[in-house]
A and B are shown apart, each in its own frame.
Chain A
Amino acid sequence: MENTVRERVFPASLDLLVDIRAFILEEDGAEERLPPKRVAHLDVAIEEIVVNICSYAYETPPGELTIRVEEKPEFFAVDFLDNGVAFDPLAMDEPDVSLPLEKRDAGGLGILLVRRMMDEVHYSRKGTLNSLRIVVDTPRMP
Chain B
Amino acid sequence: MFEMHFTVETWGRSVLLSGRLDARSAPDFEKAALAAVDEQPEKHLHMLLDFSGLEYISSAGLRSILVLAKRLSPSGGKVVLCGMSGVVEEVFGVSGFDSFLPVTKSREEALRLLGE
A→B interface (CB under 8 Å)? 14, 17, 37, 40-41, 43-44, 47-48, 51, 97-102, 104-106, 109-110, 112-113, 116-117
In the complex, which of the residues A44, A98, A100, A102 contacts B91, with contact meaning CB atoms closer than 8 Å?
A44
Given contacts A17-B24, A109-B62, contact A98 B56 (CB under 8 A): no
Q: Report A108 CB to chain B, min CB distance, Å.
A: 9
Q: Contact at B94–A43, with CB atoms within 8 Å?
A: no
Q: Contact at A101–B62, with CB atoms within 8 Å?
A: no
The total of interchain contacts (Cβ-Cβ below 8 angstroms) comes to 66
Q: Contact at B22–A47, with CB atoms within 8 Å?
A: yes
**Interface majority SS (helix, strand, loop, mixed), chain B:** helix
Can you name 15 A-B pairs with beta carbons within 8 Å?
A40-B87, A44-B58, A44-B87, A51-B23, A51-B58, A51-B60, A97-B95, A97-B96, A101-B100, A102-B70, A104-B100, A106-B62, A109-B95, A110-B58, A113-B58
Residue of B nearest to A100 (CB): B100
* C-alpha gap A52/B40 in the complex (Å): 36
**Interface majority SS (helix, strand, loop, mixed), chain A:** helix
Q: Contact at B87–A43, with CB atoms within 8 Å?
A: yes
Say yes or no for B73: interface residue by CB 8 A criterion: yes
* C-alpha gap A113/B97 in the complex (Å): 12
Say yes or no for B43: interface residue by CB 8 A criterion: no
Which 4 A/B pairs are nearest by Cβ-Cβ distance?
A: A97-B96, A40-B87, A106-B63, A110-B59
